[in-house]
Structure 1
Amino acid sequence: MAIALRGLRSAAFGGKVMRQALVAPIRVVPSSRKLSFKSASTAEIAAYTNVEKGESNTLEYRMFFKQGAKDVSPWHEIPLYAGDGYVHYICEIPKETSAKMEVATDEPCTPIKQDVKKGKLRFYPYNINWNYGLLPQTWEDPGVTNAELGAAGDNDPVDVVEIGTAAAKRGGVYKVKPVGVLAMIDDGELDWKVIAVSADDPKAALINDVEDVEKHFPGEIQKVLEWFRDYKIPDGKPANKFGYDNKCMNKEFTFHVIQETHEAYVKLKSGARANTEELSLI
C-alpha cells in the first residue's frame, strides 16, 4: 500500500476519514453460459451471478459479473464495506486449486481471467490452501511509497486470504471478517495480504482479532506467511519478504490498511489521481 499509516481511526470504527500521509505509521503489533448459484451460506451475496466466456484453461477465458440483468465490475461496483466489522470480497482462486486467476484490472468490466506470463497461462507450483481473492474498491497505489516499509503499492486491489474451512467458488462474492494483515514485499512492491474468516464459518464468532486466529486456527498465519514467502522459489526466484518483522498486524491496523487503500481507489476512480497505469475504470 502506497499511503503511509498514521494510526488515525478509520471509517470502519466510526472515526473520521483518514488523510494521506508521508510520515512513518504508528505500529500496531499483535461460448457464453450464465451461472447462477444457490447457497445456504449467509456469507455469499446471492445478488451477483457469473457469466463465463471462452473455454477454461485458455487465454480467451473470462468470467464476467452480473447483478440482475446489469453487467457489473467486481472491482468497481461491488461495495467494500458490509457493516458490523465485515467487508465484501470476491473469490478469484478457491482453496486447493492452482490456476492463478485474477481480476483483469485493465479490461472493461474487469472480468476474472487466468494470469499469463510469456504467453503461457500461469499456475502456482502447488495448490493454494485457502480461498484467495480481492477487496473491491481498494487499490495499492504504485505512485506513493510507504515511509516505514520503503515500498510502493503493487498497482492491484488488496488481496484477501480467507482461512475458513469451506471452499468458496470462483467468482463468488462473500462477506468476511478481516482480523489481520501481512505486509508482503514482492519484487520491491508492497502487496498487503488481509487475513479474514467467512461470516458463516463455524468459528467466525470466535475470531475477532489476530490473536484469536492463533487460538482457534493454531499455526495458520505462519502457514500463510510461508506459502506466500516461498511459492516463487520453484521457479528459481528468491523468497518474498514481509515487513514488521514478519508479524501479522492486528484488526485495527488491518482496517487502517483497508480504509487507506479505499481512499487511494476513490482518488483513482474520481480522477483526482491520474490514471497513469491505464487501468480500466468501468
Structure 2
Amino acid sequence: MKLLSTFTIALLINGIIAADKFTTRSVGAPNTVDYRVYFENNGQVISPFHDIPLFANEEKTIYNMVVEIPRWTNAKNEINKETSLNPIMMDVKNGRPRFVTNIFPHRGYIWNYGAFPQTWEDPNHISKCTQKKGDNDPIDVIEIGSNVATVGEVKQVKIVGIVGLIDQAETDWKVVVIDVEDTYADRINDIDDVGKYMPCYLEATNSFFTNYKLPAGDKKNSIAFKGKPQGKDFATKIVLETHEYWKALVNGTTKADKIQKINLTVKDSPFLTDPNNYTITSVPVDNPLPPAPIPKEIDHWYFLSGDKITNPVRKEARDV
C-alpha cells in the first residue's frame, strides 16, 4: 500500500488549488537550451502538466492556463513532456534554441500563449473535425486579454472559442480564452464577441498560424472549418475531450513511454510520487539568470506578398 504525504493528501482533498499558491523556480538563462522553469505549490515542486488542475473553480467554468510565451516575445518556450516534472523549457531545433520569426506586421506572438494543464492531444486519436491525429501535447491556449503575462504565470481564464489549426498534418487546436480579470472579460463571452470588441484579431490569428513556419522553409498550415473559428460550446467540448485523453495517459491506460508522468496529486495514478522521492528533491534551487541575447536576425521582418516571402536584410526571396 502506497502511503501519501500530508502534502499530497491536502491537495487531493482540496481538489482545486488556488492559483496564487503557484510559484516558479527558474534555472538557467532565458533564451538558452539550459533554461528551465519548474513549478511549486507552497514551496513543493510539482508538474504543471499533471498537478495544476484544469479547472479553477468548483463550477468548472473557469480554467487554469499556464503561460509559456508572453505576448510580443519570440522564444519558443513550452511545457516539456519528456523531462521529469515537465518544466517549461525552450524548444530546440537542430541543436539550437528555437525562436519564432517576425512576419510583417506581427512582432513575436500576438497573444499570451500557453497550455491547459491536465489535457493531452492524443496522437492515437484521429479528429473527426480535421481527419488528423493529435499533436501529442497539452492543448494550446491563446489568451487575448489586455495584459502581457510572464513565463510560468498561471492565469484564470474563460473559454470563448477555438481555432482548428492543422499544423504539418497534425491537429493542433488553439483555444481562445480571456483572463477573467481582464477589462473585456464581462463583454467577451463567445467567439463573435471577439470580432465585435477586437476587430481583425481573429483574422490576424489565422494569418499568424497559417504562415508562421514559412521563414523556416516549411509549408503553409491550414485552418479547419474553412478558416472559421468555432464558438465557446464547441471549444469546451474539445477541451473536455483532451482532459479525458490526459486521464487515460496519467492512469496508465494509454501508453506513451516517452512522456514523463510523475506527479504528486493524481489519485490512483501509478505515477503518483512522494515529495521525498529523489526526482523531486534533486530539482535545482531557484537561480534566475539574466536573459541571453536573442540572435539579431530574429528581429528582422519577413514580408509575405502573394506566393513569395522576402527578407530584405538577409536578401532572401523565395516562393511558398
1:20-50 deviation digits (Å, cap 9, x = unpaired): xxxxxxxxxxxxxxxxxxxxxxxx9221111
Residue 46 of structure 1, aligned match among 6, 16, 20? 20
Please list, as runs of the form range in 1=range in 2, the aligned pairs for 1:123-202 lying within 5 A after superposition. Answer: 123-126=99-102, 127-202=108-183
**Which residue of the partner structure matches residue 31 of structure 1?**
none
CA RMSD of aligned residues (A): 1.2
Q: Which amino acid aligns with 2:261?
A: L
**Which residue of the partner structure matches residue 259 of structure 2?**
279
Matched, 1:91 2:72: no
Q: Which amino acid aligns with 1:68?
A: N
Q: Measure how far apart 1:86 and its partner are.
A: 1.4
Distance 2:44 2:245 in 1: 26
Q: Which amino acid aligns with 2:135?
A: D
1:164-194 deviation digits (Å, cap 9, x = unpaired): 1110110000101110001100110000000
1:198-245 deviation digits (Å, cap 9, x = unpaired): 111101001111111111111111111111111111112111111111
Residue 70 of structure 1, aligned match among 19, 29, 44? 44
3-state SS in 2 of match to 1:178: strand
Please list, as runs of the form range in 1=range in 2, the aligned pairs for 1:163-242 lying within 5 A after superposition. Answer: 163-242=144-223
Q: Which amino acid aligns with 1:77?
A: D
Cα 1:163/1:101, change in 2 over 3 Å: same
3-state SS in 1 of match to 2:133: strand
- Tell me if the contact between 2:210 and 2:222 (Cα under 8 Å) persists in the aligned partners: yes
**Which residue of the partner structure matches residue 55 of structure 2?**
81
Distance 1:239 1:131 in 2: 22
**Which residue of the partner structure matches residue 104 of structure 1?**
80
Q: Which amino acid aligns with 1:274?
A: K
Structure 2, unaligned stretches of length 5 or more?
1-17, 103-107, 263-320
Stretch moving more, 76-85 or 138-147: 76-85
Distance 1:64 1:141 in 2: 24
Structure 1, unaligned stretches of length 5 or more?
1-43
Distance 2:256 2:218 in 1: 30
**Which residue of the partner structure matches residue 301 of structure 2?**
none
Q: Which amino acid aligns with 2:69?
A: I
**Which residue of the partner structure matches residue 261 of structure 1?**
242
3-state SS in 2 of match to 1:102: strand
3-state SS in 1 of match to 2:84: coil
Larger Rg: 2
Distance 2:129 2:68 in 1: 30
% same residue? 37
Stretch moving more, 140-149 or 153-162: 140-149
Distance 1:204 1:173 in 2: 17
TM-score by length of 2: 0.73
Q: Which amino acid aligns with 2:77?
A: M
The count of residues paired between Structure 1 and Structure 2 equals: 238
1:69-122 deviation digits (Å, cap 9, x = unpaired): 211111100000123521110000000000000011111110011100010110
- Tell me if the contact between 2:23 and 2:43 (Cα under 8 Å) persists in the aligned partners: no
Q: Which amino acid aligns with 1:250?
A: G
**Which residue of the partner structure matches residue 13 of structure 1?**
none
Residue 59 of structure 1, aligned match among 29, 33, 36? 33
Q: Which amino acid aligns with 2:50?
A: H
